[in-house]
Amino acid sequence: MLKGRLTHGIVRLLDWGLGESADDSPEHLRTGRRGEEDAYFYLRRCGYTIISRNYRSPHYRGELDLVGWDGDVLCFVEVKTRTTRAVKPAEAAVDRDKQNELRLMARDFMQHMAGPCQWRFDIVTIYYDHGFNRPSFELFQNAFSVAYNRGFAKRLARSY
């Protein structure tokens, strides 16, 4: 655990040294990037092995924030970051449209896998309501169902 925190600290220091603080992008985008980075290290502490960050497909819009193994289950992780809990829970932002977008992206990702495997969708929420140095995390494993598509399953099985 100490090595992970040390690595996290070094990454923060390098970001600072490279001038991340001078970033001209909107505040919500910087907060989101910070949340994805913190989620990466949080999931590693939870035992996940992350194999991809910010995966984009040439066929679909959107991205998979994090993809990793939790034991023998491949997890597609959506990260939602907030600076306050005042409005609605962060996980509520993963609505039906977002879930469908993530399903398409996950299926595209699965085309590049060596063989079939179990997979699921997780959501990590990060709140910086006590400051950026004290984020709070919540992990929702199997946050929504993998809609079974018989046609897709047949095509996937034939490709192996």
The 10s digit of each residue's pLDDT in 23-55 is 678 988 898 999 999 999 999 999 999 999 999
The 10s digit of each residue's pLDDT in 68-113 is 999 999 999 999 999 999 888 999 999 999 999 999 999 999 998 8
In whole angstroms, give the CA distance from residue 38 to residue 15: 13
Rg value, the chain, Cα: 17
73: helix, strand or coil: strand
The reported pLDDT for the residue numbered 132 is 78
Q: Do residues 106 and 121 touch, judged by C-beta distance below 8 A? A: yes
Q: Do residues 37 and 132 touch, judged by C-beta distance below 8 A? A: no
Q: Which helix (H) or strand (E) holds 38?
A: helix 27-45
Domain ranges, ordered by start, for the chain: 2-158
The reported pLDDT for the residue numbered 137 is 97
**CATH number assigned to the domain covering 2-158:** 3.40.1350.10
What is the reported pTM?
A: 0.78
